[in-house]
């Protein structure tokens, strides 16, 4: 049976007050799109998905007994971590070359991908957060899992992991502190990217609503196989558990975004 569900919800105890997200968990493109005109190797690379994130999120969900929402379509089809009005929502170019399946694209096809993949994923995220909020009786902690390449344009990235955030520091600061505490990791604070991105997943589901959150990036070579995933899951689970145990964090508090005023 062909399963075209644009998301997967991993089970967990909704009463624990935590939700994990994997926006870029998969390199899957529905069969009707073929390879979007790209060579096979494009789908083994970061441009198609966040390597290691699916496995890491599954292990963390199991270890912590918390639900997680994973996307089931490649960011090459439509990027779940971009707002609907972001011009990079459907990428035209990859590695300096046009993506034939994405450009040119009709308005109808743009709408179709929004309605068939992007919006159902975000509805699943909203519904999962709402269920956890209702069953835990508090504002859930949302942790979004990503990975990044060890180098960008031939410049090596020294950080093992990075915490990205806008202005809500409730989860980001303790996450940074706990990751840095053992002294064996170089952890980026809004490096190599800035976590303030208008319309992205955490903006929509956390900044606007006042939900405590952070985005964690792990360098993809560290979680590229099962043993790396297991090591990172074992490292992260107690840190997530510790942050989640802080009752003062589980409150709705809307922080002003560095990207400007919220939409009315």
Q: Which chain residues interact with Zn ion by CB under 5 A?
A: 24, 50, 146
Distance between CA 202 and CA 241 in Å, rounded? Answer: 20
My answer on whether omega of the bond before 104 falls inside 30° of 0, hence cis, is: yes
CB of 264 to Zn ion, least distance (A): 29
How remote is the C-alpha of 226 from its chain's centroid? 20
- Rounded distance, CA 117 to CA 90, Å? 12
Partnered with residue 223 across adjacent β-strands are none
Output 50 or 168, the one with its CB closest to Zn ion. 50
Decide whether 23 or 168 has the Cβ nearer to Zn ion: 23
CB of 160 to Zn ion, least distance (A): 16
Which residue, 42 or 133, is less far from Zn ion as judged by CB?
Answer: 42
Q: How far is the CB of 253 from Zn ion (least distance, A)?
A: 26
Nearest CA to 109 out of 88, 78, 130 is that of 78
* 117 vs 136 by CB, closer to Zn ion: 117
Could you tell me the smallest distance in angstroms from the CB atom of residue 146 to Zn ion? 3
CB 132 within 8 A of CB 140: yes
């Amino acid at each position: 049976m062909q399963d075209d569900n644009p998301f997967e919800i991993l089970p967990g105890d909704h009463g624990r007050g935590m939700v994990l997200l994997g926006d870029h968990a998969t390199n899957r493109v529905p069969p009707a799109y073929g390879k979007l005109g790209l060579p096979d190797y494009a789908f083994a690379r970061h441009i198609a998905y966040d390597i290691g994130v699916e496995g890491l999120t599954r292990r963390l969900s199991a270890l912590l007994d918390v639900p997680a929402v994973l996307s089931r379509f490649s960011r090459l089809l439509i990027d779940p971590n971009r707002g609907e009005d972001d011009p990079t929502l459907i990428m035209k170019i990859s590695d300096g070359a046009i993506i034939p399946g994405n450009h040119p694209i009709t308005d109808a096809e743009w709408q179709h991908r929004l309605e068939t993949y992007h919006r159902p994923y975000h509805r699943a995220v909203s519904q999962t957060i709402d269920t956890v909020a209702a069953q835990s009786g508090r504002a859930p902690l949302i942790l979004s899992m990503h990975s990044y390449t060890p180098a960008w344009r031939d410049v090596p990235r020294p950080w093992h992991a990075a915490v990205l955030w806008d202005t809500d520091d409730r989860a980001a600061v303790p996450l940074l502190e706990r990751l840095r505490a053992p002294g064996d990791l170089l952890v980026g604070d809004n490096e190599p990217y800035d976590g303030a991105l208008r319309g992205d997943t955490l903006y929509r589901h956390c900044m606007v609503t006042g939900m405590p959150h952070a985005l964690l990036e792990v360098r993809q070579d560290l979680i590229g196989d099962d043993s790396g995933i297991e090591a990172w899951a074992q490292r992260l689970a107690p840190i997530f558990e510790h942050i989640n145990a802080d009752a003062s964090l589980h409150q709705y508090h809307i922080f002003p975004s560095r990207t400007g005023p919220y939409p009315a």
